[in-house]
Amino acid sequence: MANDDIHIKVFGRSEIGSVRRQNEDGFAVVDLGRSAALDALSEPIDIHVDGFGVLLAVSDGMGGAHAGDVASALTLHTLRMELLAGTGGTPEAALVASIERANQRVYQVASTDAERTGMGATLTAVLVHAGRAVVAEVGDSRAYVLRGERLVPLTRDQSYVQGLIEQQVLRDEDVQDFEHKHVILQAVGIRPSLVVALNRFDLRQRDRLLLCSDGLTNEVSEEEIRLALAEHADVDAACTRLVECAISQGGADNITVVVADLDGSGLPVSTEEEPVSVETIQAFDWLESGRTDDLVPSA
C-alpha cells in the first residue's frame, strides 16, 4: 500500500438521556476531501484520509429555552462550511479561523433574536490531517485517545471547577457538592471573541479517538470509559456501550459520543512503551479568562 494510506473508521451517537426533554447536543463527521458531511450515522463508515483531512466534532448547546439546540447546530454547520470553503494556511490556522467564524455567527444570531439571547455551545473538534490530529476546544466537551491500554486526555475542561482544582483551591472529592460544578468559562457565541485551545499529536496505527459531551463524562469515570473503548473492537459497539453506561448511571444530560479508529500503512506502528506526546499550540489561560463575571451557565 502507498505511504499515504490512512483511513479512519468512525461512528457516532447522540441521545437525549433520561431527564432532558430535548437534545441540545450534536456531532459532525466531515470528509473534507469529498465535501461530504455525515451527521447521522446508521452504521460505521470508513473514510480514506486524503490531503484535505477529516473533521470530527461534538457540540453541546446551552440555553434551554434560549435555543441551545440551535446554537450547537449552527456551530457545527458554520465550522463545516468554513473548512469546506478553505481558509488557507496550516490545518491549525484553518481550524482556529473556522471556529472563530462560528463564534461570530452564533453571537450575531443570539444578539439579534430575542428568543435566542444568551444561547451558546461548547465545541471540541479534531482535524485528522496527514498523520496528525489537531484538537481544538471551547468549553468542556472532551477528546481522548486510546493507545494500547492507555486512555490519554487531549483536552482540558475550561470550567470553573477545573480552574479551582488546578489552583488547589478545590479537591476532587469536593466537586460533587460544589455550587458551580456545572459552570464553564467560555462557549461559542456567548461573547464577541474567544480563545480556542489547540493541541496536536502524531497518530499511530490502531489509535482510537473519542469525542464526547459532558453528558458522558459527568456520569462515567475515565476508567469506565477506558474499559468500554478497550473491550469493544467495533466503533459502533463502543459508542453503544458508552451511551448505555451514562444512561444506567442517571443519564441526567444529553449524551453524545463519537469513536474513530485510525489505521493504514501511512501511519507508524506504535510500541507498548511509546507515549502519546501532545503538543500545546495555544492554551486557554484560566487565570486570565476565569473571572467570576465570565461564568457561563453550562448545558
75 assigned to some structural domain? yes
293 assigned to some structural domain? yes
204 assigned to some structural domain? yes
For 119, other C-beta atoms within 10 Å of its C-beta total 29
Per-residue pLDDT at 122: 97
Among the listed residues 264, 141, 137, the one whose alpha carbon sits nearest the alpha carbon of residue 207: 264
36 assigned to some structural domain? yes
Per-residue pLDDT at 88: 73
Per-residue pLDDT at 220: 96
47 assigned to some structural domain? yes
1 assigned to some structural domain? no
* Host domain of residue 101: 7-272+280-297
* pLDDT above 50: residue 254: yes
Per-residue pLDDT at 47: 95
Cell numbers standing for residue 146: 486510546
* pLDDT above 80: residue 120: yes
253 assigned to some structural domain? yes
Question: What pTM was estimated for this model as a whole?
Answer: 0.92
pLDDT, one tens digit per residue, over 46-76 is 999 998 999 999 999 997 666 999 999 999 9
For 249, other C-beta atoms within 10 Å of its C-beta total 15
Per-residue pLDDT at 1: 38
2 assigned to some structural domain? no
Split into its structural domains, the chain has a count of 1
* pLDDT above 90: residue 131: yes
Residue found under cell 499511530: 204
Please state which of the ranges 22-36, 220-234, 238-252 shows the lowest mean pLDDT: 22-36
134 vs 95: CA distance, rounded Å: 8
CATH number at residue 148: 3.60.40.10
Per-residue pLDDT at 293: 46
pLDDT, one tens digit per residue, over 164-215 is 766 666 666 556 656 566 689 999 999 999 999 999 999 999 999 999 999 9
